[in-house]
Structure 1
Amino acid sequence: MQLGMGLSDDTPVLTIGGWVEHGELRTGDHVYGPDGRSKKILAVTGSTEQDLHRLTFDRSVEIVAAGDHLWLGHRDYKLPAVELPKGPNGERRRQYGTYASRELAWTTSQIAGIPIGSNGPSRSFQVDLAAPIDLPAQDLTVDPYVLGLWLGDGNSHTGIIGLDLQDAAELDLLGRRVPSNERGRLVSVRIPGLTAALNNLGLIKNKHIPEAYLNGSVEQRLALLQGLMDTDGCCFKSGQAEFTNTNFGLADGVAWLVTSLGFKYTRAETVGRFAGKEYRPVAKIRFSTRPDMPAFRFPRKLERQHPSPSRESRRRQIQRVEPVGRGSARSITVEGGLYLVGRDLVITYHCDG
C-alpha cells in the first residue's frame, strides 16, 4: 500500500458501529460509501508522520489530508469556440464562453495548485454529495413525524401540540382539539397516549432527540425532519429551507438529519429579537430543498420547494487548500474505492494499494 495518501488520524469516520477516528480503523471494519451503504475495509497502513493540508469546502467544512491523497471530483473547462452559420451579410460568427464539466481524480496537491482569484478559486474542484446513509429501521415508540411536531411546537409538560390556525387541517388528523388561550390564533391538539410515551422516553420537560431517532432508517429520519420543519422551519421563495430554534441541541440534531439525508447546510447563531428587544440566542440551519427528499409535509411550505435540484446543491466546492505542518496520518483500502469522512460525510478516495 502507498504511503503519503492518508487522512489525518483524528478525522472522524462513520462506521456501522458509530463514529471512529480514522487512525483507529481496522481491516474488517465497515465504513460508508457514496451510495450510503456500508463498505468493508480491506486493508490499512500504519500511521506515519506526513506533510498535511487542510482542505476547506463551502459551508466551512474542513478535512485534513496528505498531499498525495486522492479526491474524485469535477472541474469546469471552457470549450473551444464554435463556428456558427454565417450572418445575413456573410459575416463569420462564433459562439464563445461555453463550459463543460469533467470528472477527475486529483490529489490534494493538484487541487492546491488551482489559481485563486478575487472571487475565489478559478473553476474550482467540486465533490459530489453522498446519498442518504442507509441505516436500519429502529423500533420507535412514537411516530417520528409526530415527535418532530412535538419537539418543535409541543407543550414540554404534556403531549399537546399547538400550531397556527392555518395548519389546523393537518393537525386535526392527529388528535382531538383542546382549548387554547391564544385568542383563536392557535390550534392545540392532544394526541392519545403521547404524554405517557414521551415520559417513557425521558422527554417531558427535557426536549431533545433520542439517539434511536437520529439513527433510524432513511424514512424515519426524513419523517422526523419533516415534523421539525413543519413546526419550526420555513421555506423561502428561493426554495431554501431554514430551521430556527433556541434549543441548540435540537439544532444539532437537525444538522445531522440534514447531513445524513444527503443535504449540505449552513449554520448561523444569532440573538433573537422581537419588538426591539433582545432575547435568547437562536440557532439557524439552512439548506437547499430537493423534490426527491421533501423537507415538509404542510402544503403551504411544501409548494415552495425546488422543482429540481441545482448542481450547486448536489456538490461541495473546495475553496482553498492550506499546509498545516506535519501530523500523523494513514491510508485505508475499501470496497468500491470511495468512502465518507468527517462529520459532514465528504466523499474521498481510498489508497489504491
Structure 2
Amino acid sequence: PYLRPLYDALHDMVDPESIPRLMAAGTIEVAPLAYMRGRAQPVDTAVLTPTGWRRFGDLQVGDLVVGSDGRPTPVIGVYPQGVRPVFRVSAQDGASTRACAEHLWTVRTKDDKRRGRWRTLRTDEMIGRLRTAHAHRFELPLVGPVEFVEHDVPMHPYALGMLLGDGCLTTSTTPSFSTRDPELAESLNLMLESLGVEVAPKGGYDYVLRRPGVGPGGVIVANPVTQVLRDLDLAGTRSATKFVPDIYKFNAPWVRFAVLQGLLDTDGGPVTQRARTCRIQYCTTSPQLRDDIIFLARSLGGVAYARTRPAAGRAPGHAAGRPVVHRQDAFVIDLRLPEGLFPFGLSRKRAAYDLTGGGRPQRYITSIEPDGEADTMCIQVAAEDSLYVTEDFLLTHNTLNDAFIILDEAQNTSPEQMKMFLTRLGFGSKMVVTGDITQVDLPGGVQSGLRVVREILDGLDDVHFSELTAQDVVRHRLVGAIVDAYGKWDARQGHGPARSGDRRTGGRRHERRREGMDPA
C-alpha cells in the first residue's frame, strides 16, 4: 500500500498503459536494495585514462577516465562490490571484457536504430538473445577519437608510419626506404627535412635516407634517422619485430592517425569489392605491430578485425623470379574508420577508396559466457551519458539515465549504502526512496541510512521528504487504526521511533509510519 503514491507519481509522468512495458524493459526498477548490488567489473580490468590504461581497482574519486566522446571525465564515485560471478562479454571484432550479471550496457537493435535511440540493458538481460534470425541483435556504441595527453615526438608520425611499413630499420647500414610510388618518396623527404635528412634515389625502387652534402671522407656523425630509431628502441627491428612506440600510440588523435596513414600508404591497401564498400587492409608478420594497428584504429573510433595466415602449408611467394618460402605467420587486419577519416593519403589508393567509401564501423555483441568469480567494483563518472571506456575500447557504464528508480525497504540500508545509491542518480532520472524507520532490521549498532539521510539532505533543492500517516494506509481499516495506535504509544513513551537494531518478534509485521524521500 505504501507504494501507491509512487505509482500515482508514475501515472503523472508517463502513459499508464506503458508502465508494464517499461518495467519489463528495465527502464523502471522497483528493487529493495537490488540497485546497489551489481553494476560491477573485476578490479583487475583495464580502464582507459587520458594517459593510458589503468587498473580499474586503483581508481579513486577525482581520477580521470575516458568517456564516450574520447574526452576525459572525472570519477565521482567508487563502490567496492566484493567477490561476484562474472561473465565475459565479447564483440564480433574480437574485443572483450568481463562484467557481472547486473552490469549495464548501452546497446541498440535494428529497430532502435530506425527510431534513432539507444537503450540500456543488463548483462543478464542479453544472454540468450544475441541473435535475431541470422543477424547480431545488440550493437554497441563506439568511442570518439580518444584525446590522450599530447606529447612532442622525435619524428613526424607520418614518416614513422612509412618507415614501419616499407623502411629498413636494422641500422647496420644507412637507413633506407623502398617504394614504387615517387609520391611517397617525396612525402617522406618533406617529413624528414626537420631532421636534416634527404631521401635520395639509390636505384630501382630503393631510396637512402642521408644527410645532404655528406660524402666519403667526412667527419663521421650519426645519421639523425638512426639516432631517432635508437631512441625509440626500433633500431635493429625487422619485419616480424616492428612496433609502434607508446609515445605515438598514447598521443593526440592527429599523431595516431598520421602513423596509421603512413602504414597504410606504404604497406596497406584498399580492397575493392563488387557492389560493396571498400575494405582497408594491412598485412604484417609482427604480432606486436598487428596489435598496435588494432589499437590505433579503435582509439580513433574505428573497428579492426585480425586473422592469421599460417606459414606452414602456404605456397611460396616469388621475388625476382625465385620462390620465397614463408618463414613467419602473416596477420591480416581489416579496418573500418569513422566518417571523415580518410585512411589513404597516396593518390592512387585514395582514388580507389573514394569510389565506394569504407562503410560505417560497427560493433555487435556476439557472446556472453560465464567466466568464474572475481573481486569487483563499480564507478560513477561525471559524463552526461555515464559511459566510460574499458578493455579493447568497449564502452560501458553503470548508472541509469532517463529512468524512474524506486528503492524500497530503505530503512535497512546503512548510511554508506544510502549514499552509494543516491550518488548513482543519472541524468533525466527520478529516484523515490521509501521505508519505515520503526521497522529497522539492521544489526545492533548500525544506523539506518534512511534516518541519517534526512538530517543530511533536508532542505536541499530538488530533494523532497514526505511522511505518510495512518490516513495513507490502503489496507483493512484496522491496519490504519493499529498504525495510529502505535504512533500514539511512541509519543507517550517519549523515546521516538525504534532504534537501529531493534527487532520485534511474534505475529505479522505491522504497517507503521513510513518516510519517503524523492530526489527529483
* 1:163 is the counterpart of 2:179: yes
Q: Summarize the Cα distance change of 1:139–1:321 in structure 2 as closer, same or farther, 3 Å threshold.
A: same
Who is 2:43 aligned against? Answer: 9
Q: Which runs of 5+ in 2 are unaligned?
A: 1-34, 190-197, 212-223, 401-423, 425-520
Q: Which of the pair is proportionally richer in helix? A: 2
Aligned counterparts of 2:373 and 2:202: Cα–Cα separation in 1: 64
CA RMSD of superposed structures (Å) = 2.5
Who is 1:177 aligned against? Answer: 200
Contact 2:104–2:397 (8 Å) recurs in 1: yes
Q: CA deviation at 1:144?
A: 0.8
Who is 1:106 aligned against? Answer: 121
Q: CA deviation at 1:116?
A: 4.5
* 1:190 is the counterpart of 2:203: no
Q: Summarize the Cα distance change of 1:57–1:218 in structure 2 as closer, same or farther, 3 Å threshold.
A: same
Amino acid at match of 1:147: L
Aligned counterparts of 2:379 and 2:293: Cα–Cα separation in 1: 30
Q: CA deviation at 1:176?
A: 3.6
- Name the TM-score, length of structure 2 as normaliser: 0.58
Task: Give the count of matched residue pairs.
Answer: 323
Aligned counterparts of 1:115 and 1:215: Cα–Cα separation in 2: 33
Q: CA deviation at 1:334?
A: 0.4
- Name the TM-score, length of structure 1 as normaliser: 0.83
Spell out, residue by residue over 1:265-300, the C-alpha distance to the aligned partner (whole angstroms, 9 max, x if none): 111222354157433211222112444112221111
* 1:214 is the counterpart of 2:245: no
Amino acid at match of 1:256: F
Question: Among 236, 240, 252, which residue is 1:205 paired with?
Answer: 236
Question: Among 142, 150, 160, which residue is 1:129 paired with?
Answer: 142
Q: CA deviation at 1:120?
A: 5.5
Q: Which runs of 5+ in 1 are unaligned?
A: 79-97
Contact 1:168–1:187 (8 Å) recurs in 2: no
* 1:38 is the counterpart of 2:72: yes
Equivalences for residues 233-244 of structure 1 within 5 A:
233-237=268-272, 238-244=277-283
Aligned counterparts of 1:322 and 1:142: Cα–Cα separation in 2: 44
Who is 1:320 aligned against? Answer: 367
SS for the counterpart of 1:296 is: coil
Contact 2:303–2:337 (8 Å) recurs in 1: no
Who is 1:139 aligned against? Answer: 152
Aligned counterparts of 2:200 and 2:130: Cα–Cα separation in 1: 61
Segment drifting more, 273-282 vs 141-150: 273-282
Contact 2:107–2:120 (8 Å) recurs in 1: yes
Q: Summarize the Cα distance change of 1:116–1:254 in structure 2 as closer, same or farther, 3 Å threshold.
A: closer
Aligned counterparts of 1:283 and 1:115: Cα–Cα separation in 2: 28
Contact 2:138–2:365 (8 Å) recurs in 1: yes
Aligned counterparts of 1:49 and 1:30: Cα–Cα separation in 2: 25
Amino acid at match of 2:336: S
Whichever of the two has the greater Rg, that structure is: 2
Higher RCO structure, 1 or 2 (CA under 8 Å, sep 6+): 1
Q: CA deviation at 1:246?
A: 1.5
Amino acid at match of 1:320: S
Q: CA deviation at 1:101?
A: 5.7
* 1:297 is the counterpart of 2:345: yes
Q: CA deviation at 1:100?
A: 4.8
Q: Summarize the Cα distance change of 1:45–1:200 in structure 2 as closer, same or farther, 3 Å threshold.
A: closer
Contact 1:240–1:289 (8 Å) recurs in 2: no
Aligned counterparts of 2:131 and 2:142: Cα–Cα separation in 1: 23
